[in-house]
Amino acid sequence: MSKERKFKKRHCKYCEAKIDTIDYKDVNMLKFTLSERFKIMPRRLTGNCKKHQELATIAIKRARQSALIPYIVDRKNVVESPFDLIK
Ligand SMILES: [Zn+2]
């Protein structure tokens, strides 16, 4: 239940911002879909629509290859919550 509360608003943030393409260089946009350990969040938690989830997934994987986002995060330097930084 607590997890449900955290993501209670189920609107696609990319649709709200009216974004058609997600650029892998725009890490701030990708953070909507990333967890605090830089994992790709499932759609049922973020509320992204299918189209944007797929775009974000591709962009995140590209960003990882170009070292903009880490593949794994050490236990020591975990960001508290990337969602707080965006708001
Ligand atoms: Zn969308």
Q: pLDDT digit string (tens) for 25-70?
A: 988 889 888 988 888 999 988 889 999 999 999 999 999 999 998 8
3-state secondary structure string across 16-45? HCCCCCCCCCCHHHHHHHECCCCCECCHHH
**Helix, strand, coil in percent for the chain, rounding step 5:** 45, 0, 50
Q: Strand pairing partners for 64?
A: none
- Structural domain boundaries of the chain? 2-86
pLDDT tens per residue, range 7-29: 556 788 899 888 889 999 988 88
Q: Give 76 Cα–ligand 1 centroid separation in angstroms.
A: 33
Q: Give 77 Cα–ligand 1 centroid separation in angstroms.
A: 31
Q: Give 67 Cα–ligand 1 centroid separation in angstroms.
A: 25
Which residue shows structure tokens 């975990």? 78
CATH assignment, 2-86? 4.10.640.10
Does the pLDDT at position 83 exceed 60?
no
Q: Give 72 Cα–ligand 1 centroid separation in angstroms.
A: 26
Q: Give 73 Cα–ligand 1 centroid separation in angstroms.
A: 27
